[in-house]
Amino acid sequence: MSNPQIEIQLIAAVVAMACAIPGVFLVLRKMALISDAISHSILPGIVIGFFITQDLNSPLLILLAALFGVITVVMVEAIQKTGLVKEDTAIGLVFPVLFSVGVILIAKNASDVHLDIDAVLLGELAFAPFDRLIVTGADWGPKSLWIMGSILLLTLSLLVLFFKELKVSTFDAGLSSALGISPVIMHYGLMSVSSITVVGAFDAVGAILVVALMIAPAATAYLLTEDLKKMIGLSLLFGVVSAISGYWAANFLDASISGSIATTLGVIFLMIYLFAPKRGLISVLYRQKQQRIEVSLITFLLHLNRHEEESERHINHLQEHINWRAVRARTVLNLAEKNNLVQITNNVVSLTEKGLAFTEKSLAYIINNRDEKIEPMKEDFFLFRG
């Protein structure tokens, strides 16, 4: 690997991590859209900053842009508070306006400088290593690596310091404010950090990838875990993995790096969405099917348990009595027989001893549904799956 290659991957990975952290909280607060809004409406901040400093990498740009990010949030909330429109509509009203103001400012005053809209939206990671940080004549590496590295450091320290505050204010704003942890301060803190991250990152990777890097890793991690810390860890991992593999995919396909990374993010999300062990689509469907069979099995056993008379238990009349389609009756009967829950003598089905014990347990389970005693019983209950 050549030096620029390593540097590009390093930048991509650092950007991915810096985006993943605020992303987790945006996703949990159901505010994914706001990152999209911020990534566009910071443009006037950048343009104004550029007019003042004439330098695209000045920290003032980041601060002004972050300010516009917060202004976006304030405006969205103000419109929402009127009660006339919902949040998504308010977002849709605000950011195109701010973005267009930025575009007009560029067209009117800066059409001759390097600030074109394609670069803003799509970015180009391949060029990032060419913009070097030169201090006292020495080359300190790509500028964007330094910028994003600092932002990542800032975000990480804030996360570690305020983890419990972020958690409680996201989960239960009412309690949080009652405990003296102002959810308003946490909200605007998060919005400021998100804005700073978006601004720092967009120059290197473009606004669209920034949004993808904020939302996709967190949304993917959300499908896999029930623990906030793990969710953050997984988001960081997915972000970095997508960044690196996206880079190599781009190399291989000779395509845009940002585009490849965004695509990788989407593919990883899709895979997890389909195959996640607990909340994945396939396992949910599978579980539902299992549960349906299990419920049928219990219904069937209860029926046998309740009816002494042979006519009710005759193999040819079972399906009429329980009112099932033939296929389902067959499946359930086979399952019961396979597990030695029933025996068939002279075409009459009856419960075995094991079947009787199981039926009683199931009945207890159904009735005790609210009791602590369920926990150890669950093992037995799902024993006969599959």
Partner 1 sequence: MNQKIAVQIDDLTVAYNYKPVLWDIDLTVPEGVLMAIVGPNGAGKSTLIKAILGIIKPIAGSISIYGKPYTKQRKLVAYVPQKGSVDWDFPTTALDVVMMGTYGSLGWIKRPGEKEKKIALESMEKVGMLPYKNRQISQLSGGQQQRVFLARALVQDASIYFMDEPFQGVDATTEIAIINILKELRKAGKTVIVVHHDLQTVPEYFDWVTFLNVKKIATGPVKDIFNDDNLTKTYGINYKVAVNK
Q: Which residues of this protein are in contact with partner 1, per CB under 8 A? A: 28, 30, 81-83, 161-165, 167-168, 170-172, 174-175, 177-181, 222, 225-228, 230-231, 370, 372, 375
Single out the residue of 5, 46, 361 nearest to residue 201, CA to CA.
46
Number of Cβ within a 10 Å radius of residue 259 = 18
In whole angstroms, give the CA distance from residue 287 to residue 122: 42
DSSP lists the bridge partners of residue 350 as 343
How many residues are listed for the chain in this entry? 386
- Residue 149 CB, nearest approach to partner 1 (Å): 24
Q: What residue type is 22 in one-letter code?
A: P
Of 6 and 374, which has the nearer Cβ to partner 1?
Answer: 374
Tokens 């605020």 belong to residue: 22
Nearest distance, CB of residue 83 and partner 1, angstroms: 6
Which residue lies nearer to partner 1 by CB, 52 or 179?
A: 179
CB of 177 to partner 1, least distance (A): 5
**Angle formed at CA 31 by CA 30 and CA 33, multiple of 5 degrees:** 120
Specify the long-range contacts of residues 126-129, CB closer than 8 Å, at least 24 apart.
126/8, 126/257, 128/7, 128/8, 128/11, 128/204, 129/3, 129/4, 129/7, 129/8, 129/11
CA 336/CA 304 separation, integer angstroms: 12
Residue type, 172: D
Closer residue to partner 1, CB minimum distance, 231 or 268: 231
Q: Which is nearer to partner 1, 82 or 111 (CB)?
A: 82
- CB of residue 349 vs partner 1: minimum separation in angstroms? 35
Q: Are 199 and 39 in contact (CB under 8 A)?
A: no
Question: What is the C-alpha to C-alpha distance for residues 119 and 207, in angstroms, rounded to an integer?
Answer: 9
Min separation Cβ 289 and partner 1, Å:
20
Least distance in angstroms from the C-beta of 21 to partner 1? 15
Residue whose CB is less far from partner 1, 187 or 313:
187
Question: Rounded to the nearest whole angstrom, what is the least distance from the CB of residue 67 to partner 1 in the complex?
Answer: 25
Minimum CB distance to partner 1 smaller for 9 or for 170: 170
Among residues 39 and 170, whose Cβ is nearest to partner 1?
Answer: 170
**Buried b / exposed e along 242-254 (16+ C-beta atoms within 10 A):** bbbbbbebbeeee
Measured from the CB atom, the residue of 222 and 238 that comes closer to partner 1 is 222
| Rounded distance between C-alpha atoms, residue 106 and residue 44, angstroms | 9
- Of 7 and 165, which CB lies nearer to partner 1 in the complex structure? 165
- C-beta of 171: minimal distance to partner 1 in Å? 5
H-state helical runs in the chain: 3-28, 32-41, 43-53, 59-81, 87-109, 117-122, 143-161, 163-171, 173-178, 183-205, 207-222, 228-253, 257-275, 281-306, 310-313, 318-322, 326-338, 353-367, 374-381
Min CB(262)–partner 1 separation in Å: 25
